[in-house]
Amino acid sequence: MDQLIAFLDMGGYAGFVWSSYGVTAVVLGGLFVSVWLGLRRDERTLARLQAALGGRRRGRAEQAEGADPSPAPHSASARPGPAGITPRTADNGEPA
């Protein structure tokens, strides 16, 4: 029993050690709750946006089954961007 008391006393530094564990636990718990609440908020926002747009976009697996996976055509007037990359444009010439 004396060994347990000596361990919990931490050589006279128990106040610093155990309070640091407590602060760490509170911070990690707060981060978990914050991330979890943000995830729920973002899921609700995504559900509203999907409902407003009439469903979700087709994913890569769905495209591979039936859609043409080739990229959208580039506008002939599109100038290369940084590092020579030509921006993708929609069929009407507007940026995609």
The tokens of 4 are what? 């347990």
What's the domain range around 30? 1-40
* Domain presence at residue 85: no
pTM: 0.48
pLDDT tens sequence across 21-37: 999 999 999 999 999 99
Q: How many structural domains is the chain composed of?
A: 1
* Domain presence at residue 7: yes
pLDDT for residue 27: 98
* Domain presence at residue 87: no
Q: pLDDT > 90: what percent of the chain?
A: 40
pLDDT tens sequence across 35-51: 999 999 999 999 999 99
* Domain presence at residue 62: no
pLDDT for residue 44: 96
Helix (H) or strand (E) segment spanning residue 54: none
**Buried b or exposed e, range 4-37, using 16+ CB within 10 angstroms:** eeeeeeeeeeeeeeeeeeeeeeeeeeeeeeeeee
* Domain presence at residue 24: yes
89, exposed or middle or buried, with CB in 10 Å at 0-12, 13-18, 19+?
middle
Q: Where are the alpha helices (DSSP H) in the chain?
A: 2-9, 14-53, 60-66
**What does the DSSP 8-state code read for residue 81?**
-
